[in-house]
Amino acid sequence: MDHESRSRTRDRREVAVDRLVLVSNRLPFRAERRGNAVTLTRSPGGLVSAIEPVLHERGGVWIGWPGIGREELEAAGGLSLPRAKGVRYEAVPLTAHEVSLYYAGFSNRTLWPLFHYFVGRTAIDASTWRVYDAINQRFAETAAPFARAGELVWVQDYQLLRTPHHLRQLVPGARIASFLHIPFPATDVFRVLPWSRDLLRGMLAADVVGFQVDSYADHFLTSAARLLGCETDRNARLVRFEGRTVTVVANPISIDADLVASLAQATGPRTRNAARVRDILGVDRLDYTKGVHERLLAVERLLERWPEYRGRIVFTQLLVPSRERVAEYSQLKREIDETVGRINGRFSQAGWTPIRYLVRSLPPEELVPLYRAADVALVTPLRDGMNLVAKEYVMAQATLSGVLVLSEMAGAAEELQEAVVVNPFDVDAVAEGLHRALSMHEHERRSRMSALRDRVRTHDVHAWLRGFLASADGAAGREASQESPVDQVRRSLAPWLAARPATVLFLDYDGTLTPIVDRPEDADLSARTRAVLLRAARNPALEVVIVSGRALEDVRERVGVPGITYVGDHGFQIDGPGLSLHHEGLERYRDALDRTVVELEGLGVPGSQIKRKPATISYHVRHVAVDDRDDAEQAAVRIMRRYRLRVTRGKRVVEARPPVDWHKGQAVLYVLMHRYGADWPARVRALYIGDDVTDEDAFASLRGIGRSIRVGAGATPGPTNAEYRLPDPADVVQLVRWLAAGGFGGTRS
């Protein structure tokens, strides 16, 4: 080992001080059932080859699916995981049905094509989304015990974009990092997905989010700003989200450069034949993003335009089988098979066939000699997060004689600029790139390859790890100085509010102005909060409206602030200065509501509470035995639906309302239009703060014309239409105090 290699080895030992908890879709081996036993084989792929050596060096935990359904594991008597020094493996069991929906479904039929810009191949299916989110939660639950120990949890790739969110729920103080190995698309492509905002929230629950190259990180920052309204610092690559500062980094993954170089050196010099046939090599997993079919057409075009290469080149395409049971992948392989056969049939001569086609997976000991022997590597994916084949080929070129032809759509192209960079969709351009590579002068070949090898060696997998972990440590160090959730919301709202002379502030009661309590009758407004509301009511640039599911008189009595507008019964009753509404649905469905109450009382569930308001019924199960809550809720839902009432589930409560198109959102718009006219958006700002599912109607009604804040810790379950979040009622009071002081500017005209 030379001095340079010894120095690099010493550097790696110096940074290998912290254990890692690695969370990925797969463990670094695949389990297969053979009879009554389960065997394990090492998994191929860039993630495993890049990370597993590092984990073994540092020590830690690898969490993932073993690659076999739970049913087969149980039939074979379970799974015995291997043991390695300093490394522990934790399997996340998945049934075959879960795999089909979470992995084959949402991950690979939805996220994979969309993130690679194949929008037409993207499947939009709510059932696969629900399973994807549930499986992400299961991964988080497996990682939670290690996160509590303070170890860094590093979540890998597109299959687990929601895992940081669920882990943050379980362990609020966890150290979480996330890295996306595939491209992150431009916002206008990403927003095609109905759950794009949920995925963003999942990723932003990490302390640091890593991407392969700058353009992917920039797309993510744009999406956070445009889709979630986050404040972003593009220069520093910071996102402020739910009171936390998230670091965004571009850190391209790499290979174990020394390992590939040593395997190439062990191969020995290549023996050239007298005919001097030039070897072109392609190595890809079977996938439509890899551009294998287009590449074959480029080889065909080369032979058409430059006939002198006939008999003088051989293109070897090594195709690693993948997802062969998926219909579209089987169809792709048939197309490749047919194209190979057609080209060989068209150009083959005695003793020479232009395309050598291999469908298999090779271990590094057999693959690296292919790299070393190839005069040209043809790496032309239609879209790729990075592409480690390009880097492996470079490090295998010990004699500096090869040329890399590389797609500009691969993340690697941003690093490996000395390659012959081509557009993979342009068959003529790829053919011209091949011609240039094959005819390149030796001095240029050696110069380009020398520069490429230098860069890959300098930025190897160990440098990737050091760089990413340094970013994670920096993100953790920033926590002490970050601003509060209220400061973040206030800074974002201030310029928006200042653009109008007045603001209408809508406030829910339970869970927003007061904490959620076991007995709703105990939810009293504190004197401090009432004083803040009184001050807000006296500000001429601020109108306060209380919106509650409680009966109108109940919420008016509890708040006790005169001269403001009160909205009760989820909007069915409104009363304020110059404004009054008693919705006609109250009388039309009075009998159905009364009969529902009688039947709910007849259930006789111990601990349940029934609250009858003029327009609604609330069936509370907070004090019902835990094992009986679900049954009690289901029984209540059946009764309510029998009388054709509108049913809504909240926090340990089921509510029934008249089945009319009226809710908190409609009531909010009613107040705004009757108070300020149809052109109210041009005259005032509307801000709604609430905490429950019933407030989502108001969030949705104001989306695009107002602003909304959902109250609850960042772990508040489920998606929301609100633009912002605040952790608890104390933060709401702090924000209202700022609004009451009028710091955002403007006075009512």
Per-residue confidence (pLDDT) for residue 31, from 0 to 100:
73
DSSP secondary structure code for residue 272 in this structure:
P
Catalytic residue among 508, 510, 692, 695: 508
β-strand 244-250 against 238-241: which pairing, if any?
antiparallel
* Residue ranges of domains in the chain: 3-250, 258-456, 485-583+662-741, 594-657
Q: Which of 253, 217, 264 is nearest to 236 (CA)?
A: 217
Q: Are 403 and 437 in contact (CB under 8 A)?
A: yes
Q: How many helices (H) and strands (E) does the chain have?
A: 27, 29
Sign of the torsion formed by the C-alpha atoms of 104, 110, 111 and 116: positive
- What is the SS3 string spanning 15-27? HCCCCEEEEEEEC
Q: Are 22 and 59 in contact (CB under 8 A)?
A: no
- Extract the runs of DSSP E, i.e. beta strands, from 118-179: 152-156, 176-179
Helix residue ranges, H only, 499-551: 527-537
Q: Are 314 and 356 in contact (CB under 8 A)?
A: yes
Helix residue ranges, H only, 440-526: 442-458, 461-478, 485-498
Helix, strand, coil proportions of the chain in percent (round to 5)? Answer: 50, 20, 30
> pTM of the prediction?
0.73
CATH superfamily, with its number, for domain 594-657: Trehalose-6-phosphate phosphatase related protein; domain 2 (3.30.70.1020)
Q: Are 693 and 722 in contact (CB under 8 A)?
A: no
What is the C-alpha separation between 338 and 626, in angstroms, rounded?
A: 62
281: β partners:
316, 377
Per-residue confidence (pLDDT) for residue 153, from 0 to 100:
94
Task: Please list, residue by residue across 39-65, b when 16 or more beta carbons sit within 10 angstroms of its beta carbon and e when fewer do.
Answer: ebeebbbbbbbbbbbbbebbbbbbbbb
Per-residue confidence (pLDDT) for residue 18, from 0 to 100:
62
CATH number at 258-456: 3.40.50.2000
* Four-CA torsion 29, 35, 36, 40, nearest 10 degrees: -10
For residue 547 the two structure tokens come to: 């919106």
Per-residue confidence (pLDDT) for residue 88, from 0 to 100:
87
152: β partners:
20
What is the C-alpha separation between 611 and 608, in angstroms, rounded?
A: 10
725: β partners:
710
Q: Which of 658, 522, 550, 556 is nearest to 611 (CA)?
A: 550
Say whether 594-657 and 3-250 share the same fold.
no
Q: What is the CA radius of gyration of the chain?
A: 31
Domain spanning 3-250: CATH 3.40.50.2000:
yes
Residue 495 CA to its chain's centroid (Å): 30
Distance between first and last Cα of the chain: 80
Residue bearing tokens 């593009």? 234
pLDDT < 50 regions, the chain: 1-17, 274, 480-481, 714-716, 746-749
508 given a catalytic annotation: yes
Sign of the torsion formed by the C-alpha atoms of 250, 255, 256 and 261: negative
Per-residue confidence (pLDDT) for residue 443, from 0 to 100:
92
Residues with Cβ within 8 Å of 268's Cβ and at least 6 positions away in sequence, in order, are: none
Of all residues in the chain, the percent with pLDDT exceeding 90 is 62
485-583+662-741 fold: Rossmann fold (3.40.50)
- Extract the runs of DSSP E, i.e. beta strands, from 221-270: 231-233, 238-241, 244-250
Q: Which of 498, 506, 561, 505 is nearest to 533 (CA)?
A: 561
Full DSSP string of 366-379: HHHHHHHH-SEEEE
Q: Are 239 and 232 in contact (CB under 8 A)?
A: yes
What is the C-alpha separation between 531 and 443, in angstroms, rounded?
A: 81
Per-residue confidence (pLDDT) for residue 274, from 0 to 100:
47
Amino acid letter at 689? I
Helix residue ranges, H only, 507-656: 527-537, 552-559, 585-588, 590-603, 626-642
For residue 362 the two structure tokens come to: 């090779």
For residue 201 the two structure tokens come to: 């929230």
Q: Which of 294, 367, 301 is nearest to 335 (CA)?
A: 294
Full DSSP string of 70-138: HHHHHHTT------BTTEEEEE----HHHIIIIIIIIIIIIIHHHHTT-GGG----HHHHHHHHHHHHH
